[in-house]
Structure 1
Amino acid sequence: MIPILNTAAALLTIGFGLFGFLAPSFTLGALDLTTTNSNMGLSEMRASVGGLFVVTAAAALWLGTPMAFTMVGFVYAGAALGRFVSLALDNPPFVKALTFGGIEAALAAFLILANMSRNA
């Protein structure tokens, strides 16, 4: 069952990442961000919100090892940590930030806890 859930989590991650990778303007709007005098914001969306997640999850699917899926979990843990620190320090829209952080934390918890025991 864990391999099926790993695959589902990786495909979900690729789906999330494709929004940032292929539709950075949409993603900017969803995250309440804007570009300034340049299109560097679009570049950042494609890189850190898009490509990073797409390639990390695709690599986990390709490698197919518990450790690979654990590392995807650590990527989500970093995103969740940043989100929760932002909640404490930045006063973002509370429900939106908490929802995104909750999804990231849940994926992190599953991918790390389910796969760490399988890494032995």
Structure 2
Amino acid sequence: MTALDYINIIVAVLTVGLGLLGWLAPRWTMEKLDMRAGPTNMAYTEVSAVSGCLFVGIGIGVLILNEPMAWVALGLAYAGAAVGRVTSILRDNAASRQSWTFFGTEAALAAWLILANLPSA
């Protein structure tokens, strides 16, 4: 295995781990993300699905497929999260150390996964 393989695997395992927290501990996740449930508690299902099992699924998927374009797809997912986050930071006046840290992490993971795994032309 190469360094590229090890880094990709670490990113996928991190993705699955964070997803497990969102899925199995939505209240804890929401507390850390400064989120609150409304009258229907729909927020818990949203965190379980989007911050949870979505990441578990894509993380396990890339580990099983272990193909360059699968790793690029994971990178595109992180790129989408980074774009959504920075848009909200700017649009919603949501700048904080935490939001910029999350953005930086998402952007760095996206850049790595996309650039390191794109097939050579």
Aligned residue for 2:14? 12
Q: TM-score if structure 2 supplies the norm length?
A: 0.94
Q: Aligned-pair RMSD on alpha carbons?
A: 1.1
Alignment counterpart, residue 74 of structure 1, candidates 64, 73, 76: 76
Paired with 1:83 and 1:25, the residues of 2 have a C-alpha distance of 21
Q: Secondary structure, in 3 states, of the residue corresponding to 1:85?
A: helix
Aligned residue for 2:86? 84
Aligned residue pairs, count? 119
**Structure 1 runs, 4 residues or longer, greater than 6 Å off:** none
Q: Post-superposition shift, 1:91?
A: 1.4
Which ranges of structure 2 fall in alignment gaps of 5 or more residues?
A: none
Deviates more, 1:63-72 or 1:86-95: 86-95
Which ranges of structure 1 fall in alignment gaps of 5 or more residues?
A: none
Aligned residue for 2:103? 101
- The share of aligned pairs that are identical, in percent, is 45
Q: TM-score if structure 1 supplies the norm length?
A: 0.95
